[in-house]
Amino acid sequence: MDRLEELRSSYQRVQERLRAAEQSAGREPGSVELLPVTKFHPASDVALLAELGVSDVGENREQEARQKAAELPNMRFHMIGQVQTKKANAVARWAHSCHSVDSIKLANALERGVALAIERGERTETLSCFIQLSADGDTERGGVTAEGLDEVADVIESAEHLLLAGVMVVPPIDSDAGEVFTRARSLVDALAQRIGRNLRLSAGMSGDLEEAVAAGTDVVRVGTDILGKRTVA
C-alpha cells in the first residue's frame, strides 16, 4: 500500500470513529472538527492529506511548522504545542490559530507579533487563540489555572489582532480524561456566557477521542491514529 492509500485508510477510520462517537453522544454528525496532527511527519504527508481534502493540520514545533507552511502555502497550520514568548513573532507569521496560549505575557507577545506580520504583509487576518487550561493546576507544564482563565481571556479579547476562540486542554497522565473534559467544557461555557458569544473546546486525541466527544468538545487533535508512528526525531 502506498503512502496516499495508507493515509486515506487511516483518515477514514478516524472519521468513522468520530462519527460513531458523535452518534453515541447524541450529537449532530460533523459537529466535531477533526484536526490531524502532523508533527514529526514530513511535508509530503501534509501534501497527501491535502489531496484527501484536509485543509487544516496541527503542529507542535515552531521551526518545523514554519518550514512546512512555506512549502504548502494553501494549507492552514495550527500551533498546538507550547510557545516560548521569544517565538511569538515567528508563530504570528504562519499560524492560523494557536491552541496553547498560557499566559498574559504570551498573549501580549502574539498581539505584537501579529501586528508586525500584518504591517509587513506577512498575514492579513487576526490570530485565533485558545487558552490552554492546566487541568491539575501545575502551570510548570504549561497552561492557565481555572482561576486565571478570565484574566487571560480579557487580555486576548481586548487585543486588536487576536480573537479568543476558546479553551484547549490535555488531561494529565493518570487522570480521568472524561472528568477533565467535562470540567473544561463547563469552564468554556461559563467564559462564553460572560463574554457573550460562543467559544470552542479543543480536547481529545487518539487515545481519548470518545470521552472528549461525550463531554462536548468541538475539536479533536489526532496524530498517531492518522499518520502512524512519528518518523522524524
Residue 229 pLDDT greater than 90, yes or no = no
- Which three cell numbers mark 89? 513573532
Q: Compute the distance between CA of residue 127 and CA of residue 118 in angstroms, rounded to an integer.
A: 11
DSSP 173-204: TTS-HHHHHHHHHHHHHHHHHHHTS--EEEE-
Q: What is the mean pLDDT of residues 155-181?
A: 96
Asked whether residue 233 is domain-assigned, the answer is no
Q: Does the pTM exceed 0.85? A: yes
Q: Which residues pair with 220 in a beta bridge?
A: 34
Residue 28's pLDDT is: 96
Q: Is residue 194 part of a domain?
A: yes
Read off the pLDDT band of 83 (50, 70, 90).
very high
d(CA 208, CA 225): 12
Query: Which element (helix H / strand E) includes 96?
Result: strand 95-101
pLDDT of residue 230 exceeding 90, the answer is no
Q: What is the pLDDT of residue 136?
A: 87
Confirm whether 22 is domain-assigned. Answer: yes
Angle at 54 between CA 130 and CA 204, to 5 degrees: 40
Q: Is 162 contained in some domain?
A: yes
Mean pLDDT of all residues in 198-221:
97
**What is the domain-level CATH number for residue 150?**
3.20.20.10
Domains of the chain: total: 1
Average the pLDDT over 126-152 and give the result: 92
Give the sign of the dihedral formed by CA 106, CA 154, CA 202, CA 51.
Answer: negative
Residue 232 within a domain: no
pLDDT for residue 133: 97
Q: What is the pLDDT of residue 141?
A: 76
pLDDT band per the 50, 70, 90 thresholds, residue 140: confident
Q: Calculate mean pLDDT across residues 143-159.
A: 97
Mean pLDDT, all residues of the chain = 95
Q: What band does 231 get if pLDDT is binned at 50, 70 and 90?
A: low
Domain extent, residue 145, equals 3-227
pLDDT (tens digit per residue) in 178-206: 999 999 999 999 999 999 999 999 999 99
> Is residue 208 included in any domain, yes or no?
yes
